Amino acid sequence: MSSPMQVSRMRAAARRVKAGGERFLGGVLPGASARRLQIKAFADDWAAANLEARRATGPLWVVLGDSASQGIGATRRDTGYVGVVHERLRHREAWRVINLSRAGAGVADVLSRQLPELIDLTRDQSAALVSCIIGAEDIARRVPGIDVSLRQLLAALPSGTVVATFARGARGGPAAALDAITREEAARHRLRVAELPPKFGPGSKGRESSPLGDVDHAAWAEAVLAAIDGPPAEVAPSTDPELPVVPATVKAVTEGSSDKKREPAGDAEPGDD
């Protein structure tokens, strides 16, 4: 009878074989078909890597987010910004990464699905680092009420989580408005802010039409590393002292993220439908 570790390794190997086939087909098909296969291949590749990371030891980084955090648009999963940051962290210590992101995800998906997975994951093993780069898809789709749900998400993240802005230096537009919310809530809940290059600022059509390439992912990696190494944001001195500063905790997501609580995904791996 196979041990749990053997089963985990067999599942990871099967995922990698499946991802290899999807990458091969994506290399011979055009346009949207190739992109869909890359999304499937990277999701399966991450699912295999996540299985292996759960069995390993060392400080744990848990990634929440959308297609950018999956590495979509990069030539390989490892040249996506998460792969680049992970490799740099591994030069310092034996860091592990578990990537819970999903292509096409928005803030609502992180609240209803990825955060419960984070809570379930960290019951047995704490995360040394959490990152959550999300919102570009919501901006592109003009999702109503995104300002409210973004505040709810940022309040639910653990203190020290790396979040990001999209429209550096922009003075208007939906991206700049959400960036202002991100900076405000980051100061209130002591999150780390990565100032990303403004590829998806005002007027952008989002990542579906213009995914990040290797150069873009490398630039994001530098911004994320700078945020990891920098101190958490602090409440500005001008903040009204009467406003309460609520310590962030991942468990806060269970309080009102929806009228009906959604159960964690159990054994399902990122990318599974």
Report the percentage of the chain scoring pLDDT > 70. Answer: 68
Specify the pLDDT at position 167: 76
Mean pLDDT, all residues of the chain: 79
> Per residue in 15-28, pLDDT tens?
444 444 444 444 43
Which of 208 and 236 is assigned the larger pLDDT? 236
> Per residue in 146-163, pLDDT tens?
999 999 999 999 999 999
Specify the pLDDT at position 124: 84
Q: Whole-structure pTM over 0.85, yes or no?
A: no
Which of 50-64, 117-131, 157-171 comes out lowest in average pLDDT? 157-171
Is 196 in contact with 223 (CB distance < 8 Å)?
yes
